[in-house]
Structure 1
Amino acid sequence: MDISGNTVFIPGSTGGIGLALARALRARGNTIIVGGRRTDQLERIAAEHPDIDTVRIDTADPASIAEAAKEVLARHPDLNVLIAMAGIMRVEDWHRPESFLASAESVITTNVLGPIRLIAAFIEHLRSRPDATIMTVSSGLAFAPLRATPSYNASKAAIHMLTESLRLQLADTGVRMVELVPPAVRTALLPGQENSEIAVPLDEFVTEVVELLASQPDAREIQVERVKFLRHAEARGDYDQVVATLNAADPHGR
């Protein structure tokens, strides 16, 4: 992925990693469109960052995705980068089905069906562009599980394999598949994570991501240094120790 001169749509980016990445990519000379469910947040972003366009989108709602895609492409026909950022994380106790089932279904809808539907809504357009990129967002937890968040772990493992598979299918097109693999980052993904000493500071994470994108334009995965402990556990042969360390550090992975 080239680091400048793109038109980039980032649904699920009204805060956290998404908004920080949107701002960083805008500073690198890209046209940015951010998407989110809440109009008050979109209005705030538009007021604070008038050079960033906004569109309402609920990535858990197929109709909303279809409508947002039409709006984005009508206003930005040169769109060539989609970053499927939206995601949720829930703590679940699978000893009691009544406590986790609705949560698990919501996580899978947002984290797996959301990106699938987003890609489906934009793939025809992106295939028409001479140089296009779809960036998915998985997690270090796709490669080493956190006990407290089974559905989240599974959803991100699915995103990893979806990305790997689409890269093979789209090899005959001009669309690149890039997977961003974050560690725990100081965002509001889980309660208290914004102040966690274990999580990577948001600005530090985004700075490293942008530097990796700039220095590795052909990278298939964007792995900051802090995620490699999880990402390569199985290859290193210390998977059991990594899982034990991860789950001993904090019950919520913060």
Structure 2
Amino acid sequence: MHITGNTVFIPGATSGIGLALAERLHAAGNTVIVGGRRAELLAEIAATHPGIDTVRIDTADEASIRGSVDDVLERHPNLNVLVTMAGVMRVEDWTQGPAVLATAEETVVTNVLGPLRLIAHLLPHLQKQTDATIMTVSSGLAFVPLRATPTYNATKAAVHLFSESLRLQLQGTSVSVIELEPPSVATDLLPGQRESSFAMDVDEFADEVFEILRDRPDATEVQVSRVGFLRHAEAEGRYAETVRQLNAADPH
């Protein structure tokens, strides 16, 4: 992915790492469209970040995805980059029985069906572009599980393998697939995560991601240094110890 001259749509970028990346991509000379559910946050972004466009989208609702995609393409027919940023993370206790299903199903709809639906509705357009990119967002927890968030871990593992598979199907086309694999970052994804001593600073994370994209335009996985502890645990023969260390530090 080249880091300038693109038209980039980032659903789920009204805060956290999505907004931080949107700011950097815009500053680098890209046209950026931020999507989100809350109209007041979108209005604030439009007011405080002149030049960044916004669109209301609920990635848990396929009708909203269809309508928003049509809206974005009408306003930005040169769109060539999709970043599937939107996601939720919930603490679950599966020992408590079927009550956990409501949270689990919400997580699957947002974290798995949301990206799949976005990609399905935008891929025909992206395939017509000379140079296009789909950036999916998994997690270090796709590779090593956090005890407190079983469904989140599973959804991010699904995103990882879907990204690998989609990349294979799109070989030889104009569309590349990049997987962004964040570690714990100081956002509001989980209660208390912003204050966690284990979480990476948002700006530090976004700066390192931007450097990787700049220096390695052909990268298929974007891994900041802090996530290697999780991403490569199994390959390096330290999976069981990494699971133990990760969950010993788990505040939940």
Quickly name the TM-score band, shorter chain normalised. over 0.9
Q: CA deviation at 1:202?
A: 0.3
| Matched pairs, number | 252
| Residue 29 (structure 2) pairs with residue 29 (structure 1) | yes
Corresponding position of 1:145:
145
Contact kept in structure 2, 1:147 and 1:251, CA below 8 Å: no
Distance 2:100 2:245 in 1: 25
Runs of 4 or more off by more than 2 Å in structure 1? none
- Residue 248 of structure 1 corresponds to 248
Separation in 1, partners of 2:17, 2:46: 17
Offset of residue 196 of structure 1: 1.0
Q: Deviations over 1:172-220 (max 9, x none)?
A: 3100000000000000000011111110000000000000000000000
Counterpart mapping for 1:1-254 below 5 A: 1-252=1-252
**Structure 1 unaligned regions, length at least 5:** none
CA distance in 1: counterparts of 2:180 and 2:126, whole angstroms: 19
- Offset at 1:99? 3.4
- Kept after mapping to 1: 8 A contact 2:146/2:250: no
Equivalent position SS for 1:43: helix
Identity of aligned residues (%): 64
Distance 2:169 2:189 in 1: 32
Counterparts of 2:45 and 2:110 in 1: how far apart (Å)? Answer: 22
Match of 1:121, as an amino acid?
H
SS of 1:187's equivalent?
coil
1:152-178 deviations in whole A, cap 9, x for unaligned? 000000000000000000113100000
* CA distance in 2 between partners of 1:218 and 1:122 (Å): 21
Does the CA-based 8 Å contact 1:92-1:99 persist in structure 2? Answer: no
In structure 2, give the amino acid aligned to 1:220: T
SS in 1 for 2:153: helix
Give structure 2 stretches of 5+ with no counterpart.
none
The amino acid across from 2:132 in the alignment is A
AA paired with 2:72?
V
Secondary structure at 1:172 match in 2? coil
Q: Equivalents in 2 of 1:172, 1:202: separation in Å?
A: 35
